[in-house]
Amino acid sequence: MLLHQTTPKTLLELAGVRLEAPSLSDAALVLIDYQNEYVSGALPLDGVDAAIGEASALLERARAAGTPIVHIAHKGRAGGLFDREAERGAIVDALAPRDGETVIEKALPNAFAGTGLRDALAATGHGSAIFAGFMTHMCLSSTVRAALDLGLSSTVVSRASASRSLPGTDGEIVPGGAVHQVALAELADRFALIVPDAGAFKE
């Protein structure tokens, strides 16, 4: 007989897996879709400014540690959402790529689909990747889920990521903060270690 669990556990916990955050020197950093569309465009996110601030701290630490850095940008149609030739599709100034940092454009939520991300991460020689970005429930989640299929160990930085409010299936609005937390809980169940902020990593 199975006993009722009063405190839920993740599948990883039930399997006895103990995840630890990689050091910045032993992982690659993947920043997903930090574009102006989510700040001043048609898809404003809950807590977007705080998330960008945390991502900036993470990026600064990664650069100082010599971590390989990959910037992902969603490429939409000309004149529409995420138009890469317009301001709305540009990566936010605070996280603008520097010379030598890889920039990959994607057309689908999963940043591995139809792109060179898999090869870019393989070229770093690291089996671990640190992910953060927008939106938690969409492109971040899709990419981290795919990373498991590719044999990568993933860590997600919660406070450097964010989602937007969504229409619920019952007609009620689901707040962006709740969407973000549920998406993280789903990833934590099987796909990734979730850490709060940049301070979780050793150099």
For residue 190, give the H/E element and its range.
helix 176-190
Q: Which of 26, 33, 46, 189 is catalytic?
A: 33
| CATH number for 129 | 3.40.50.850
Note if 9 is an active site residue.
Answer: no
Residue 6 lies in a domain: no
How many domains does the structure of the chain reveal?
1
Residue 190 lies in a domain: yes
pLDDT above 70 for 5:
no
Q: Are 127 and 152 in contact (CB under 8 A)?
A: yes
Please state, in angstroms and rounded to a whole number, the distance separating the CA atoms of residues 86 and 62.
28
Please state, in angstroms and rounded to a whole number, the distance separating the CA atoms of residues 72 and 55.
14
Q: Which of 46, 106, 170, 202 is catalytic?
A: 106
Residue 203 lies in a domain: no
Q: Is 186 helix (H, G, I), strand (E, B) or coil?
A: helix
Q: Identify the burial level of 40 via C-beta atoms within 10 angstroms of its C-beta, where 0-12 means exposed, 13-18 middle and 19 or more buried.
A: exposed
Mean pLDDT of the chain: 96
pLDDT category of residue 6 using cuts at 50, 70 and 90: confident
> What is the DSSP track for 72-131?
EEE---TTSTT-TTSGGGSBPGGGPPPTTSEEEEESSSSTTTTSSHHHHHHHHT-SEEEE
Residue 10 lies in a domain: no
- Residue 159 sits in which domain range? 23-198
Residues 182, 111, 36, CA angle at the centre, nearest 5°? 75
Q: Which of 26, 46, 139, 170 is catalytic?
A: 139
Structure confidence at residue 1 (pLDDT): 44
Note if 197 is an active site residue.
Answer: no
pLDDT digits (tens, 9 = 90+) for 122-163: 999 999 999 999 999 999 999 999 999 999 999 999 999 999
Residue 48 lies in a domain: yes
